[in-house]
Structure 1
Amino acid sequence: MAALNAAAQAAPQSTLKYGKYGCTASKYNGSYYEFIPHGSFTINPDGTYFYSGFAKPSKGKFTVDKAGNLLFIGGYLDKGKAEKIDRPNKFFLVFPTIPDNRWTCSCVDK
């Protein structure tokens, strides 16, 4: 429970762009790359997130580390990490139950 309270306190202090992030995985099929959509997650200033890849959204908490990476607690992305990359508002997402190696997630809110 303490981890969830810490998550709610840590998230609002970041310079993170809150909103909806669409996720895709890429797969090489011999002569071309196929991009497979994997839903989206929405991050909120109160430290909560919603993953919308199922009929019913999954809810959890997140924190932001010193490098700007997102660390997920609870919900579908539990124990996952969205690693900040060199493009604005874009992450590489890895979590324990991921069906692919990693997903690329970009902010879709303007």
Structure 2
Amino acid sequence: MSQHTSSPEQREKQKILDEVARSEPFRELVRRRSRFVRAALTFSIAWFGGFLLLIAFAPDLMATILVPGLSLAYLLGFSQFALVWVVTWLYIRMSDRVFVPLQERALLVAEEVAAR
């Protein structure tokens, strides 16, 4: 049986990746991005779950007509689309202000490590 051995070039690339992964900018990037995604996902699931629970257990409330042709159920249903746009906008905003600067700092670490 042959055993897979990596080339010196592959080992060097892995060493760089490992060092970048241990760097503070990269760890902060992963931490901040993960925190945002978890919060956005939790809120989105709760909003949709609340909508489904209201549909299932409060049909009379959801049948409330707000204006002719628009019930509370339709309004909350359409709010799901608005939620997607808001979360997308927030992610882009966080990316520009937080994630990209951290990514650039992590790339500098990678360049420094590769230059050694």
| TM-score (structure 2 length as normaliser) | 0.20
Higher strand share: 1
Structure with higher RCO (Cα < 8 A, 6+ apart) = 2
**Which structure: greater helix fraction?**
2
TM-score relative to the length of structure 1: 0.21
